[in-house]
Amino acid sequence: MSRGERMHALVQRLYPLCRSITGDGVRDTLAIVGEHLDLTVHEVPTGTQVLDWTVPQEWNIRDAYIARGGERVVDFQELNLHVVGYSVPVDRVMPLEELRGHLHTLPDQPSLVPYRTSYYAPTWGFCLSQDTLLSMPDGDYEVRIDSTLADGSLTYAEHVVRGQVDDEVLISCHVCHPALANDNMAGVAVAVELARSLENPYYTYRFIFAPGTIGAITWLARNDVDKVKHGLVLACAGDRGSLTYKQSRRGNAEIDRVIAHVLRDRPHEIREFSPYGYDERQYCSPGFNLGVGSLTRTPYAGYPDYHTSGDNPDLVAPESLVDTLEACQEAVAILDRNRTYVNLSPYGEPQLGRRGLYSSLGGRSDAHEAQMAMLWVLNMSDGTNDLLAVADKAKLPFTAVAAAADALHAAGLLKD
Amino acid sequence: MSRGERMHALVQRLYPLCRSITGDGVRDTLAIVGEHLDLTVHEVPTGTQVLDWTVPQEWNIRDAYIARGGERVVDFQELNLHVVGYSVPVDRVMPLEELRGHLHTLPDQPSLVPYRTSYYAPTWGFCLSQDTLLSMPDGDYEVRIDSTLADGSLTYAEHVVRGQVDDEVLISCHVCHPALANDNMAGVAVAVELARSLENPYYTYRFIFAPGTIGAITWLARNDVDKVKHGLVLACAGDRGSLTYKQSRRGNAEIDRVIAHVLRDRPHEIREFSPYGYDERQYCSPGFNLGVGSLTRTPYAGYPDYHTSGDNPDLVAPESLVDTLEACQEAVAILDRNRTYVNLSPYGEPQLGRRGLYSSLGGRSDAHEAQMAMLWVLNMSDGTNDLLAVADKAKLPFTAVAAAADALHAAGLLKD
Amino acid sequence: MSRGERMHALVQRLYPLCRSITGDGVRDTLAIVGEHLDLTVHEVPTGTQVLDWTVPQEWNIRDAYIARGGERVVDFQELNLHVVGYSVPVDRVMPLEELRGHLHTLPDQPSLVPYRTSYYAPTWGFCLSQDTLLSMPDGDYEVRIDSTLADGSLTYAEHVVRGQVDDEVLISCHVCHPALANDNMAGVAVAVELARSLENPYYTYRFIFAPGTIGAITWLARNDVDKVKHGLVLACAGDRGSLTYKQSRRGNAEIDRVIAHVLRDRPHEIREFSPYGYDERQYCSPGFNLGVGSLTRTPYAGYPDYHTSGDNPDLVAPESLVDTLEACQEAVAILDRNRTYVNLSPYGEPQLGRRGLYSSLGGRSDAHEAQMAMLWVLNMSDGTNDLLAVADKAKLPFTAVAAAADALHAAGLLKD
């Protein structure tokens, strides 16, 4: 199975689980991820204070439906989006009139079921297509949600790939959305594959699989973020759109420059930070202000099927997953190799030919990429420019610039 | 009478007075303005040293004409532009040949009478249309200017609206132009209406009605400018062109950002500072370098009728006066409300839902303007960004951002 | 003879000499230049350590050819490009097969002879047109290069025009290319004419005629660069293309701003620094980081005949040489006159009329360039802006701004 097929298969397997910000859906999801990666799973008890928030009660659901004459018209077993997330239990017969106040549809997309939650205000509700609603005659309906909302815990997991230094790169994915494929089982699948591909990296890479908002806040509350040097929030990683990068709040963090370099030769869009979207909202809150950007394909709320039953595994393409993965891998390669050097022979050019680093035949007006890369590294390495800045200024591939730095360092012409 | 009609009526009433940089024309103008606003009128004696300048002698004029056979060909009583401002007295008969050296016309605009002055070099002259000049046969003319140039004083006035703080906003209008309507009785009319509309402002607003150049210099020489935090020179405020803002010399003063925000959704032009134009030349001289910009409609010297008899009350439109006034009022509202806050819960987002500030229904991918404004205020309030910076970055109306700040401040999430 | 004809004649006279990075070709070139300028000629012995480099052995050549049956097929006497620069001696008969490894052609430009060197790897070779190569039948050829490579010295020359201050402006030309006209006898000719035109300049102007790379490095190794405030590398100064300026590594050095101003009203291109090209590579190495840019017409390697036999005197146009010269002269005039002043009357505008510096007739809405220049100089002279910054901001000619500064200084309104 190719990488693309493997990632897509994982999306398909994870898709039907009924995740929320707590509960067994998250645990089941992490158990499957744990088949691929060594995970440390954390359970944080209901009531724990996390920054400005409190870990809520745990929600679990077994069944839910709206039925008429025993026949299910809206059935949780068929699609878990049908229940508003965190719905309190209900078991009643009520006329459609009364039921309407608990029903959510998308009149402009009449065949789609919306995704709705109510984590922090106790209520219940159903999501259904407008088409279904219109087909429901007046009269009484059996309405049942077999859920529990009780003290328990919030669950999240970490996978760490130890690097040569303790400084960390965070890769964070939200795992709280129920039957939505691109958002965000696609992000999870790419993160899993990325984690498996890392071998003896320079940085320590920490993968976080946590429910959105409260999960990221919980992680931030329980950890020392000083060692986090860079990070990416991965979401909507598999649709057929081109890559979109949303910059960190800093706008000029190293990760912002790295991703811009990676995307330079791909169709892409780069957006400035805004305080709406995924968990970059938390990582980039002004107190933390981490160098964490967000990589997606079509961005947050950017496609018609977003947060609807249309976001199913068909929306996710194996080749898109691979493209996202490769962009991440290129970013990792640059982050891990990026250094700032100082030219030890900064007065005039050093004689590269004597060291076997320069073509001996003169007069040719072109220069090989390797030679240009060496000249650029020497000229810019005054302690203020990292290799990525050299590559960007020189309009050369980072790999060529890094190879030049290796050669010059080996020749004793550069120091770290 | 609507605001527009009221302002236009004031322009029409002030228009025919023969103003100059000193003299009774200015006093009469200020007396009329004083019917609407409490004015403090200052008389600064001839010979007073003001910065690098000296207050000149006072000029007054009762009559002037060029006549032929007793019939007035050019008559000051008909249009006061006909006399070069500050003309010394003359009472002679002279042939057209000799008279020509004292006549000013606009050959390219043959029906218009130009506006000319000679404040600091004693001479005399008449302005007339090229058409009139061409109709004048050779021969002798009776030439009379019944003026006096004598020790007296320079007159200017101030109206102050006390605010909650002593820090001041200057609104400055030149009142030295004779029968020119847009330049600058329109500016005076807008300033009067603006002053009357201010109620318990945050800043103290100081309106200055003074002759151009020497008046601003006199004001600057006699006052402590340290309390002047922002300012606007108001001129050409009533023609039918769109608004033009000329930045302060600083280019990024708060007033520059405020006016840019106000003009954002209006047709407009923003120009960089240049040391030519109105009294921003003085307020923005390098020693003072105040945050004072200039708001006009069509800018200085930008319309064909500029500084000619064509600049009469017909050139001024009530709706243009209202538009300028409203821009000023919006600017005042922003200046007065603009603050820099610090988010007291900067680690992660604070839980807005718990405080009744956030919709409890999740999953919707849109967010109300009010919620976006709160998220932006929280994210950017790290002590370096004022609310205006938030509004500009977030592309939200300042009012929405200010309302968000109010709500967050009331919830204890922000401090000044 | 006009300046253009004089410069072109010098190009033609210098063109046929067989220059290299050392040897009599350079000495003969400098002897001819010395007929026009007082030159100090430096001889730096083989083996001298210069920065990271060592002065190489001296190369001289008397004759070279490839012959068949006594008839020269490739003849150094006809075109000195035919021999690879620094070729070691050879005197052999060999079959074409063996000879081929020593032959250089340009298959895409079959009628042109390329320019090739091998300064630092001992070898020998011939350059010829692809057409000639194709006409050579198989068989044996007499191959002879009558050259010597022996201890000697590297030769370069300086011409200094003493100025009012010891601070220096460098004008540097490479003199190591054999029969190539635009590259760089055109640069030499412009430098000679520029040097002759300087009269009592403000800065001290130092003209350097030195072989490329090793010559500049030798100069840098033997001199104190602290007094070098500005500089230009002059090359490719006579082709029919428009002017190109390559910025110094700093990008905002005064010379960069000066040349941008000079080129403002000419067709031109401005390029950012890159560490490839001429001796700006050495002057702008990070240890020196001098304010030295490079002025050419068509830039380095930018025309099809570049580094081929097509770069002959026909490629150089007298009017192009004059245009380059005039740009240099304008740059010198600005550099020499550029100052930062402080307005001694910075509070409000000083009364220019009283000092005879301002038109006494008011009301006109236009202002003469001279008056605008004075207002701009006064407004911007707060000790941070030089006259060039004023000219650029005001969009006025530097000469007008300098004249304004002279008038204001004479009136006691400015200090240095």
Residue by residue, pLDDT tens for chain C (416 residues) are: 999 999 999 999 999 999 999 999 999 999 999 999 999 999 999 999 999 999 999 999 999 999 999 999 999 999 999 999 999 999 999 999 999 999 999 999 999 999 999 998 999 999 999 999 999 999 999 999 999 999 999 999 999 999 999 999 999 999 999 999 999 999 999 999 999 999 999 999 999 999 999 999 999 999 999 999 999 999 999 999 999 999 999 999 999 999 999 999 999 999 999 999 999 999 999 999 999 999 999 999 999 999 999 999 999 999 999 999 999 999 999 999 999 999 999 999 999 999 999 887 787 766 689 999 999 999 999 999 999 999 999 999 999 999 999 999 999 999 99
Query: Could you tell me if B40 and B158 are in contact, meaning their C-beta atoms sit under 8 angstroms apart?
Result: yes
C 244-283 → A contacts, CB under 8 A: 249, 274-276, 281-282
Residues of B in contact with A183 (CB under 8 A): none
Residue B385: which of B324, B323, B343 has the closest Cα? B343
Structure tokens at C133: 């190569």
**Nearest beta carbon to residue C52 from set A350, A361, A364:** A350
Residue A366 pLDDT? 66
Query: Could you tell me if A192 and A36 are in contact, meaning their C-beta atoms sit under 8 angstroms apart?
Result: yes
B52, B298, B300: best mutation site toward chain C, by most C Cβ within 10 Å? B52
Judge whether A138 is closer than 8 Å to chain C, CB to CB.
Answer: no
The CA dihedral of A374, A376, A381, A387, to the nearest 10 degrees, is -90
Token pair 């398909």 in the structure block, residue: A12
Residue type at position C26: V
Residue spans of alpha helices (H) in C146-253:
187-197, 214-222
**Residue C325, C-beta contacts closer than 8 angstroms, at least 6 positions apart:** C3, C7, C190, C193, C194, C197
For B45, the enclosing helix (H) or strand (E) is strand B40-45
3-state secondary structure of B403: helix
Residue B360 pLDDT? 78
**Nearest beta carbon to residue C276 from set A350, A360, A372:** A372
State the Cα–Cα distance between residues C32 and C27, nearest whole angstrom.
9
Q: Is B359 left (phi over 0), alpha (psi -120 to 50) or beta?
A: beta
For A401, the enclosing helix (H) or strand (E) is helix A398-410
Residue A196: which of A161, A162, A172 has the closest Cα? A161
Residue pLDDT, tens place only, B12-44: 999 999 999 999 999 999 999 999 999 999 999
Mean pLDDT by 10 residues, chain A (416 residues): 97 98 98 98 98 98 97 98 98 98 98 96 97 97 98 98 98 98 98 98 98 98 97 98 98 98 97 97 98 97 96 98 98 98 98 90 79 97 97 97 97 96
Instruction: Note whether A118 contacts B361, CB cutoff 8 Å.
Output: yes
Residue type at position C169: V
The CA dihedral of C272, C274, C280, C286, to the nearest 10 degrees, is 110
Residue A368 pLDDT? 87
State the Cα–Cα distance between residues B61 and B146, nearest whole angstrom.
6
pLDDT reading at B6 higher than 80: yes
CB pairs under 8 A between B and C: 86
DSSP letter at C254 equals H
Cα–Cα distances (Å) from A188 to A14, A235, A237, in that order, read 9, 8, 9
Instruction: Note whether B343 contacts A287, CB cutoff 8 Å.
Output: yes
Instruction: Note whether B285 contacts C354, CB cutoff 8 Å.
Output: no
The mean pLDDT value of chain A amounts to 97
State the Cα–Cα distance between residues C399 and C387, nearest whole angstrom.
10
**Residue C227, C-beta contacts closer than 8 angstroms, at least 6 positions apart:** C166, C167, C168, C204
Chains that touch C (3 or more CB pairs under 8 A): A, B
Residue A358 pLDDT? 87
State the Cα–Cα distance between residues A23 and A30, nearest whole angstrom.
11
Structure tokens at A31: 């158990």
Label residues B84-103 b or e (16+ Cβ within 10 Å = b): bbbbeebeeebebeebeebb
Residue pLDDT, tens place only, B334-384: 999 999 999 999 999 999 999 999 887 787 766 689 999 999 999 999 999
Residue B84: which of B18, B183, B12, B173 has the closest Cα? B18
State the Cα–Cα distance between residues C40 and C25, nearest whole angstrom.
17
Strand partners, C94: C141
Label residues C148-174 b or e (16+ Cβ within 10 Å = b): ebeebbbbbbbbbbebeeeebbbbbbb
Instruction: Note whether C120 contacts A350, CB cutoff 8 Å.
Output: no
Instruction: Note whether A276 contacts B367, CB cutoff 8 Å.
Output: yes
Residues of B in contact with C343 (CB under 8 A): 286-287
Query: Could you tell me if C184 and C175 are in contact, meaning their C-beta atoms sit under 8 angstroms apart?
Result: yes
**Residue C123, C-beta contacts closer than 8 angstroms, at least 6 positions apart:** A360, C84, C87, C88, C102
Residue C365 pLDDT? 67
Q: Chain B: residue nearest A118 by CA? A: B361
Query: Could you tell me if B143 and B99 are in contact, meaning their C-beta atoms sit under 8 angstroms apart?
Result: yes
Strand partners, C293: C232
Residue C233 pLDDT? 98
State the Cα–Cα distance between residues A115 and C115, nearest whole angstrom.
71
Q: Is the dihedral of CA C272, C277, C283, C287 positive or negative?
A: positive
Judge whether A78 is closer than 8 Å to chain B, CB to CB.
Answer: no
Query: Could you tell me if C239 and C316 are in contact, meaning their C-beta atoms sit under 8 angstroms apart?
Result: yes
Instruction: Note whether B53 contacts C353, CB cutoff 8 Å.
Output: no
Tell me how many degrees the CA angle A99-A103-A109 measures, rounded to the nearest 5. Answer: 145
Residue A332 pLDDT? 98
Structure tokens at B274: 């240049």
Residue C69 pLDDT? 94
Strand partners, C243: C268
For A13, counting Cβ atoms within 10 Å of its Cβ (0-12 exposed, 13-18 middle, 19+ buried), the class is middle
Judge whether C199 is closer than 8 Å to chain B, CB to CB.
Answer: no
Instruction: Note whether A285 contacts B354, CB cutoff 8 Å.
Output: no
β-pairing, A140-150 vs A204-210, is unpaired
Model ipTM?
0.95
Residue type at position B229: K
Residue type at position C328: C
Judge whether A285 is closer than 8 Å to chain B, CB to CB.
Answer: yes
Residues of C in contact with B178 (CB under 8 A): none
**Nearest beta carbon to residue B360 from set A121, A217, A307:** A121
Tell me what percent of chain C is helix, strand and coil, each rounded to the nearest 5. 35, 25, 40
Residues of C in contact with B117 (CB under 8 A): 361-363
Judge whether B315 is closer than 8 Å to chain A, CB to CB.
Answer: no
**Nearest beta carbon to residue A282 from set B348, B376, B382:** B348
State the Cα–Cα distance between residues A37 and A73, nearest whole angstrom.
40
pTM of this structure: 0.94
Residue C361 pLDDT? 78
State the Cα–Cα distance between residues C157 and C175, nearest whole angstrom.
10
Cα–Cα distances (Å) from B196 to B12, B91, B243, B312, B331, in that order, read 19, 46, 22, 25, 15
